[in-house]
Amino acid sequence: MATFIPPDLWDLLGALIVSTISGVVSISRRVIHGQQASLLWVVSEFFSAILCGYLMYSAYPFIHDDVPKWFTMPVAIAVAAHIGGRVFQEIESNFCKYIPLFDRRKS
């Protein structure tokens, strides 16, 4: 008896796998370059990669006709997942720089 898994579920699982791999690559690169790893930082990197990857997975059908042929869904998800972590860090840095109320880091 074969179980039937809908194609949308396979697509979603693929998006989550690509996003997770992007998170692992990002975290590994930063640890190799000397950043101290903490559980909170690792979890936030993974979640930001998965969130941005999922958002691209949801948006890709709408932009599909406007992007080059080589920019397939897995490529789009990987790019979004990788850039997503950087964007969240930049937003946090700007909030802390321009609005001191948000800066809770130890001096």
9 pLDDT exceeds 70? yes
- Residues 56, 81 contacting (CB under 8 angstroms): yes
Is the pLDDT higher at 60 or at 98?
Answer: 60
The structure's pTM equals 0.68
- Residue 39 has which token pair? 């559980």
CA angle 7, 78, 3 (to 5 degrees): 20
Is the pLDDT higher at 89 or at 62?
Answer: 62
Q: What is the pLDDT of residue 65?
A: 93
pLDDT in tens, 79-91: 888 887 778 777 7
Average of per-residue pLDDT across 57-85: 88
105 pLDDT exceeds 60? no
What is the C-alpha to C-alpha distance for residues 93 and 96, in angstroms, rounded to an integer?
A: 5
Q: What is the pLDDT of residue 1?
A: 47
Q: How far is CA 6 from CA 22, 79, 82, 107, in A?
A: 25, 25, 27, 51
